[in-house]
Structure 1
Amino acid sequence: MRKLILVIVFGLAIGALFGQLMMSVPGYWLVRVGDTSYQTSFWFGLILLLAVFVVLYFALRLLSRFINPVSRFKTWNSRSRNRTAMRRTVRGLVALAEGRWKRAEKSLVKAADDSSTPLVNYLSAALAAHYQGRYEQADTLLKRAHLSTEGADTAVGLMQAQLMLDRQQYEEALAALTRLDQHLPNHPQVLKQLKQAYISVSDWDGLRRLMPRLAAQQLISREEREVLEFQAYRELILQESRLVDQHGIEKIRNLWADMPDHLRTNTDLIVLYTEILVHGNEQGIAERLLRHALKEHWDSRLILRYGMLDVDPKRQLAASEKWLQERPNDPDLLLTLGRLSLRNAYWDKAKEYFEASQQQRPSGVVCAELARLYANLGDHNKSQLFYRQSVELLDKSLPALPQPVPDVKTQAKQAS
């Protein structure tokens, strides 16, 4: 109500102002055509001209509709087809999400030509065809997607690589992704697919070189990176270990030098590298490696392997006896000390260390060492005793399996 009153008051004010203006500004229009003349007041003529202008404007618009009906029909038809294509595209994408591949492909392809986003239609249809196992049709749709939109190389290439990975066409996928990586370095999706391709084709060198790039883009967690780096370096070392020449050892040493710090403290890799160094007649390097690793972190596998090296037994024994001061009851260290004492021909000391190890933890291996030592010292009774203990301990470690029941008659015959 208040708004209506305000409008009426405003209208009256404008009318009064306009009336006052008409009275204060007199004038007239005179139009003469031949011998005929027309005269009217200035304000009436102005209103008349404005009315004529409005009539002409709407008349020209109405006339333009009748003059160009074909163009207007084409525009209307195009908009109508685009709306229909949009509805079909939505239905196709919904069917794709629901796993109805055939319906999705049909709707998306049918709507592609009239869609404002044909690239989306063809890519989604290619995915639907792929899920149906129609690989040739999927490739055809990818080609149509590439032709439908300018600048679609990246999207089509990524989709093509993903479909190749799903089909287990790993070599082809890696080749396609390598080309994409050259044109689009550090593209997140390219890097993620490259990781999958490298693992699939066992390209461990490519994978280890990819890890820093994945980490820089925050595309991989720390845990996953450590697992993949461990796998990559382990496989690379195993591959190179099949080479027995010095060149092979040199490659492995370079790999070890390039390895991240956290991997050089991994016990599995240290043991593997040690075995390769020993096989390549690099026991001196192996001894330094194990000695340094044992100072950093103690592990039973490392100390047992240290005792099997044949480098400088006196220096090894001295270093191990220093460790014994920190770990006086370590059975693996005591076993290693016994073996190093044997290498130094300290027979009595070897017996003491072996027996101390046996007291800390009964072991078939230690019993076997003692049995062999006593046999060579001429004490066959103790040798047989430790051999029996070794067999008994070994028997306890065997899995529980059904065994034949001894025949009493057979045993009696054997006894007689």
Structure 2
Amino acid sequence: MKKLFILLLVILAAGAWIGQLMVQDPGYVLIAFNQTTIETSLWVMLVIGVLGFLLAHWLLNILTNAMMPVKTLRNWRDRRNHNVSQRKTLKGLMALSEGNWVKAQRQLGQAAERSEIPLINYLAAARAAHEQGDDKAADELLQKARVATPQAEVAVGITQAQIQLARGQLEPCLANLLKLRKLAPKNTYVMRLLKDVYANLQDWDAIAKLLPELKKSQAVRDDKLIALERQTYMNLLNHSLEQLPVETDNASRHSVLDQAWQKLPQNLSGEPALIRRYIELLISINAEPKAEQVLREMIAKQWNEELVNLYGRIVGQDLKKQLKVAQGWIKNHPDSPNLLLTLGRLSLRNQVWGQALSYFEQSFAIQSSQETLAELSRLLRHLGEVEKARDLMQDNLAVVADNLPELPQPKAEMAKAG
């Protein structure tokens, strides 16, 4: 209140002072333009100027206030679209997670039309359409995603590749992934998808070429990478002969098989399963002497019971030498049941019957396996020991048929009386 009183006093004093100035000297202003002149006092001119400024300010305020509702309405509409888009996107993603594909596609598709970033909505809606089996709608939604966000070609392409792979459209999927590899050569997910497509196409040569990149980029876990390597080179071994014409001679087959074997990486050259398959393929083309040599060298490098067992099933070029080689292993592996079984078999090939029987009995004493029991029983029968062979089988019935249930059995005397 005090400030207002002081302000009024200042205004009155200023007014009195200005009024005094107007009485003493009204001033003179002349404005001439072409043939028109305007004459007035300085104070009148000042009043006109002040009134003109106030009028212009008033008109500007009216114009601004008239435009404000349009801007306010536009802002309200934008906020509403944003809120509606968020709400529908949330509902669509929840429906997608719950497996409600129809609702998910509808909500996400509607939200995309209002969204500032429609890419996510279109991609998720395409997945929902795919889950319903609506291929046409899925493809249309993916195309809308491309148009809405051209710079997201990799993201759209990956989603499309996933859908194509799930549909079984392997060739289009492969073309799509090869295009993506050029756009994003270091994308590990593209590599994994490419690996899956090649596996479905049975293109093991392509996977073999991709393996170094998968290993370098760590796109696949170590355990899965090792399994993939084994599977790849196992199939390369198998297919090496399958792709040859029927009339191909064994020498040519042998050459092709060796080429496939030489392609094995160093870390797989000692894999028992691969060695076994290589040996089996060598035997299939009548190359048992080569198989015996390979197997002998592998066992010398790394002892493996399975491969030692296989060594006794192969007919080498020199049977006596083969037996002697195996007998040399007994010093370091005296308790190996597979080695003793192999020695028994090689002794049979060299027609040393008593020695074979001794090896079979030693092997069976260490490990009562069906395989050794069968060999021992067969040899006894051929040696004329039929009763002994029968008793052996009777005493080891559990070995022949294991996992028999515990059941009551009649006594021998009762069985005879019956």
Q: TM-score range by the shorter chain?
A: 0.7 to 0.9
2:111–2:121 Cα contact (<8 Å) kept: yes
1:363–1:393 Cα contact (<8 Å) kept: no
The residue number in structure 1 matching 2:191 is 191
Change (3 A) 1:153 1:307: same
Alpha-carbon shift at residue 268 of structure 1 (Å): 1.8
1:371–1:384 Cα contact (<8 Å) kept: no
The residue number in structure 2 matching 1:332 is 338
Q: Which moved more, 1:88-97 or 1:148-157?
A: 88-97
Alpha-carbon shift at residue 104 of structure 1 (Å): 3.0
Structure 1 distance, partners of 2:203, 2:408, is: 48
The residue number in structure 1 matching 2:34 is none
CA deviation profile, 1:325-360 (whole Å, cap 9, x unmatched): 112232321222233233344445434433433444
1:258 to 260, 263, 270: 263
Counterpart secondary structure, 2:186: coil
Structure 1 distance, partners of 2:286, 2:73, is: 85
Unaligned runs of 5+ in 1: 1-28, 40-44
The residue number in structure 1 matching 2:307 is 302
Pairing 1:52-201 to 2, within 5 Å after superposition: 60=60, 63=63, 66=66, 72=71, 75-76=74-75, 79-80=78-79, 82-87=81-86, 88-201=88-201
The residue number in structure 2 matching 1:38 is 42
Structure 2 distance, partners of 1:214, 1:144, is: 32
Paired letter, 1:253: D
Alpha-carbon shift at residue 69 of structure 1 (Å): 8.1
Structure 2 distance, partners of 1:180, 1:371, is: 64
**RMSD of the TM alignment (CA)?**
4.2
Alpha-carbon shift at residue 225 of structure 1 (Å): 0.8
Change (3 A) 1:390 1:57: farther
Structure 2 distance, partners of 1:185, 1:70, is: 52
The residue number in structure 1 matching 2:291 is 286
CA deviation profile, 1:57-109 (whole Å, cap 9, x unmatched): 8865754675x789858854763564355334344334434444333322332
Paired letter, 2:388: L
Change (3 A) 1:51 1:257: farther
1:307–1:340 Cα contact (<8 Å) kept: yes
Structure 1 distance, partners of 2:362, 2:205, is: 47
The residue number in structure 2 matching 1:9 is none
2:349 to 338, 343, 347: 343
CA deviation profile, 1:227-255 (whole Å, cap 9, x unmatched): 22222222332333545744444443333
Change (3 A) 1:74 1:384: same
Change (3 A) 1:80 1:332: closer
Change (3 A) 1:392 1:126: same
2:360 to 344, 354, 360: 354
Paired letter, 1:86: S
Paired letter, 1:301: E
CA deviation profile, 1:198-251 (whole Å, cap 9, x unmatched): 344444333333332222222211111112222222233233354574444444
1:317–1:337 Cα contact (<8 Å) kept: yes
2:369–2:399 Cα contact (<8 Å) kept: no
Change (3 A) 1:121 1:346: closer
Paired letter, 1:120: I
Paired letter, 2:347: S
Structure 2 distance, partners of 1:351, 1:276, is: 31
Alpha-carbon shift at residue 171 of structure 1 (Å): 4.6
Change (3 A) 1:60 1:92: farther
Alpha-carbon shift at residue 286 of structure 1 (Å): 1.9
Structure 1 distance, partners of 2:363, 2:124, is: 68
Instruction: Determine what percentage of the aligned residue pairs are the same residue.
Output: 33
Change (3 A) 1:343 1:83: closer
Counterpart secondary structure, 2:114: coil
Structure 1 distance, partners of 2:54, 2:331, is: 110
Change (3 A) 1:365 1:101: closer
Asked if 1:397 is matched to 2:400, the reply is yes
Q: Which moved more, 1:396-405 or 1:183-192?
A: 396-405
Asked if 1:322 is matched to 2:328, the reply is yes
Structure 2 distance, partners of 1:112, 1:101, is: 16
TM-score (normalizing by structure 1): 0.72
Counterpart secondary structure, 2:330: helix
Paired letter, 2:141: L
Unaligned runs of 5+ in 2: 1-26, 32-37
Structure 2 distance, partners of 1:30, 1:347, is: 148
CA deviation profile, 1:165-186 (whole Å, cap 9, x unmatched): 3344445433432333344323
Asked if 1:272 is matched to 2:272, the reply is no
Asked if 1:219 is matched to 2:216, the reply is no
Paired letter, 2:138: A
TM-score (normalizing by structure 2): 0.72
Structure 2 distance, partners of 1:290, 1:209, is: 28
Alpha-carbon shift at residue 374 of structure 1 (Å): 6.3
How many residues matched? 373
